[in-house]
Structure 1
Amino acid sequence: MAVEEISRPRRAGRARPALWYQSWRVYLAVFVALLAYAYGWRVTQIHLGELWRGAYLIRPFIAALASPDVVAREQQLQRGTAYFYYGGERPAAAPGGGPRLTLSRVTGAIGDRVTAAGEGFAPNRRGVLWWENQVGQRQQLGSFTTDAQGRFSLAFTAPEVQGTHNMVIAEVLIGEGPLRPSQTLLVVLDRMVETVFLALMGTTMGVVFAVPLSFLGAKNLTASLPAGGVVYGVTRTFFNLMRSIEALVLAIIFTVWVGLGPFAGVLALGVHSIASLGKLYSEAIESIDAGPIEAVTATGASALQVVRYAVVPQIVPQFIAFTIYRWDINVRFSTVIGFVGGGGIGFVLQQYINLLQWRQAATALWMIALVVAALDYTSAVVRERII
């Protein structure tokens, strides 16, 4: 007897969905992304080989980071001077007393060969010969070592400088004192303190104006007011416009307006902080619990009373946290603002870099890193405890 196979009826079901990587949209998106990156690579002129070819240019700076100008020894110097004049007029006599420096000629022109001879210096000591122009700018002419009688002789070429009255200075190191903070460290500390307070004043200025504006930029508070939508729109537009202008651009504008110095930096940070804090404050107000507002409103309280008793208690912790965070940001901003004349440590850092004083620049960079890290940690702890 034949056994008939009874086939089970197949259940009608939904088609198996295609995997995400089988969709044509994914391939199109990948193709568009590749085109965008290829065009971006070309427009931004990325040449990775330049990283290797130009590496030697930053070696002095990298080395300076390992040996910043933090401490120094008080040096005891013997100094001899002689005047040199570009032109036909004979210069005045050099000051008397102490070691004596004489020149083979005291007048001449740029490029002339001159021999400096010194006597009366400490014997068997190394020294440096300097050329100082009439505005006090120095450049090194060479180094020497005195003999057993304290004499030396060194030939040099009259350099190309501005002005006609110049001075040749011979300095011999005869002793060193104990270690002390270097002049660079003292200057950097002073400017770092200025930077911190520059950020503090800019943040304070931003808070003063951002707090009242934030209530006008909160939709849940302006919705019930006459023309509340217009007030809300104007306030939010102001915040967005001012936030779109970088603090560096504002610093340039205020530097032209009020001149170089920290006041321009305070104004730049303050105006930028108004917009940034105003937006953060208004969003904090919009996220509060509506229950207390409805309860206070039901008692017949005015709009100001609603803000005072239902809104302010909910937003104070967030306002404080946002303010501290903004101060932290402004400290970092102020270092860059100094590059355009806005005061602070950025101003002296720019001078050190322009003069190729890498050890001094390294001191400023280490100070910025330490202070910013300390403020970042402090603000994070405070915000965590408040919120």
Structure 2
Amino acid sequence: MADSNSPPNVSYERPFYAQTRFLFVALLLAAVYSYGWRVTEIEPGELVRDIHLVKPLVRDLLHPDLLTFETEKESANAFFVLSSQQSQVPPLKNTDSGPSFVLSKHTGQTGDSINVSGKGFRPHANGTIAWFNSIEQEYPLGSFATDADGNFHREIIVPPSAKGSTQTVRAVLEWQTGEWRVSDTLKLTMDKMTETVFLALMATTFSIFVAAPLSFLGARNLMTGNLTNTAVYYTIRTIFNVLRSVEPLIMAILFAVWVGIGPFAGVMALAIHSIAALGKLFSEQVESIDPGPVEAITATGATPVQVVLFAVVPQVFPQFLALTFYRWDINVRMSTIIGFVGGGGIGFLLQQWINLLQYNQAGTALLAIACVVIILDMISARVREKIIS
């Protein structure tokens, strides 16, 4: 008879974090991420140290060129030389006619305080002062207001972005002389955005006529039973995989050389990639159909084509249509990128504005892209919901 006072035989399982396997995996992950951190040269300090360089860019992107009006502008430049030997550097004179802009000193280092004054500007107006280093990076220094005689005085600090030798300090005063109107940038953006939407539409439409028939040949449940069908199945699947592995950006470069820069190159690049993407998705839908109707129609002696038309297509048509709308949505977004390599559409225009440092115009293009993508996503989601339900 067992002793009633003896402790029960209870086995205690160690928590997962105390197991040797977990410790080994944790050490392995730590080593992997440590190596990845070093290989990718992640430097969080860079995000803070040079943030002043990106501020003008972000400011312009957040102020898209949507509306405009006729303006007049007055500006004047003054020059500054980064040097610790002030007496050895002669002041650089502004040769521009019109308003004058004078610095209290023309040499110094970052962090130095400088008094600036302007004369001959438009009276009772507001303007801005900006610093441009030797590679034309802009650093805003603030605003100024002219008095009744068109003069102003204020103090500025040599910014940390001052690099190189000769720096330019620019005072700009701009005022409205006409009525508000839609900017030329917005008109051009809407024109190219329309081209982008139809570029994606044509590419998606062309791809359907190729992807849909091939998807039946790439479905395992329809292409089994003999060696020939199996060979066709693997051939089609291999074609899909190879085409999907090539980015549309690479295809756009190829077609830009082949047919020339423009939207046609973008249509062909997106169409080829969409054939592979839709072909794979369509074939997976075919593989998931109910085999009952297929077996029933096959038992009547129907040909393979008749089986596909009357037993397979009715089951997959709603999914095919939903996936097509989804692919169109994807192609609209992808067409923006392929425009950077000559594929036409809004992407090509966006690249030009970025290269020319016209970030206000680039902000207009980005806003248009975001609006169109959001609208198409909502429409696509609603259509897919209606079709599937």
TM-score computed with the length of structure 2 as normaliser: 0.71
What residue in structure 1 maps to residue 258 of structure 2?
257
> Is 1:368 aligned to residue 364 of structure 2?
no
Q: CA deviation at 1:53?
A: 1.6
- What CA deviation, in whole Å up to 9, does each residue of 1:271-305 have, x standing for no partner? 11011000000000000000110111111111011
Q: What secondary structure sits across from 1:213 in the alignment?
A: helix
- What CA deviation, in whole Å up to 9, does each residue of 1:49-80 have, x standing for no partner? 11112211221122123321101124699xxx
Identify which range, 174-183 or 186-195, moves more after superposition: 174-183
Q: CA deviation at 1:212?
A: 0.9
State how far apart, in whole Å, the 2-side matches of 1:17 and 1:243 are.
48
* 1:238 maps to amino acid: I
Q: What secondary structure sits across from 2:177 in the alignment?
A: strand
What residue in structure 2 maps to residue 72 of structure 1?
68
State how far apart, in whole Å, the 2-side matches of 1:225 and 1:6 are.
69
State how far apart, in whole Å, the 1-side matches of 2:9 and 2:225 are.
54
Q: What secondary structure sits across from 2:178 in the alignment?
A: strand
Q: What secondary structure sits across from 1:227 in the alignment?
A: helix
Identify which range, 270-279 or 177-186, moves more after superposition: 177-186
Q: CA deviation at 1:10?
A: 8.2
Q: What secondary structure sits across from 1:301 in the alignment?
A: coil
Change (3 A) 1:53 1:116: closer
> Is 1:44 aligned to residue 35 of structure 2?
no
State how far apart, in whole Å, the 1-side matches of 2:175 and 2:32 are.
66
Change (3 A) 1:72 1:175: closer
* 1:277 maps to amino acid: L
What residue in structure 1 maps to residue 198 of structure 2?
197
Change (3 A) 1:200 1:6: closer
Change (3 A) 1:11 1:185: same
Change (3 A) 1:245 1:175: closer
* 1:382 maps to amino acid: V
State how far apart, in whole Å, the 2-side matches of 1:276 and 1:13 are.
59
Whether contact under 8 Å (2:339, 2:347) holds in the other structure is yes
Q: CA deviation at 1:270?
A: 0.6
The structure number with the bigger radius of gyration is 1
Identify which range, 68-77 or 19-28, moves more after superposition: 68-77
Q: CA deviation at 1:178?
A: 2.2
Identity of aligned residues (%): 53
> Is 1:30 aligned to residue 26 of structure 2?
yes
RMSD: 3.1
State how far apart, in whole Å, the 1-side matches of 2:8 and 2:96 are.
107
Q: CA deviation at 1:15?
A: 4.8
Change (3 A) 1:243 1:174: closer
What residue in structure 1 maps to residue 296 of structure 2?
295
Q: CA deviation at 1:229?
A: 1.2
- What CA deviation, in whole Å up to 9, does each residue of 1:337-376 have, x standing for no partner? 1111111101111111111111111111111111111111
* 1:291 maps to amino acid: G
* 1:186 maps to amino acid: K
What residue in structure 2 maps to residue 311 of structure 1?
312
State how far apart, in whole Å, the 2-side matches of 1:293 and 1:9 are.
70
Counterpart selection for 1:61 from 43, 57, 68: 57
What residue in structure 2 maps to residue 210 of structure 1?
211
State how far apart, in whole Å, the 1-side matches of 2:221 and 2:289 are.
9
What residue in structure 2 maps to residue 99 of structure 1?
none
Q: Which runs of 5+ in 1 are unaligned?
A: 78-112, 118-123, 127-172
* 2:18 maps to amino acid: Q
- What CA deviation, in whole Å up to 9, does each residue of 1:107-150 have, x standing for no partner? xxxxxx97869xxxxxx979xxxxxxxxxxxxxxxxxxxxxxxx
Whether contact under 8 Å (1:61, 1:362) holds in the other structure is no
Whether contact under 8 Å (1:277, 1:323) holds in the other structure is yes
Count residues with an aligned counterpart.
Answer: 302
Q: Which runs of 5+ in 2 are unaligned?
A: 74-93, 99-120, 124-173
Q: What secondary structure sits across from 1:300 in the alignment?
A: coil
Residues 326-341 of structure 1 correspond to what in structure 2 (within 5 A)?
326-341=327-342
Q: What secondary structure sits across from 1:177 in the alignment?
A: coil
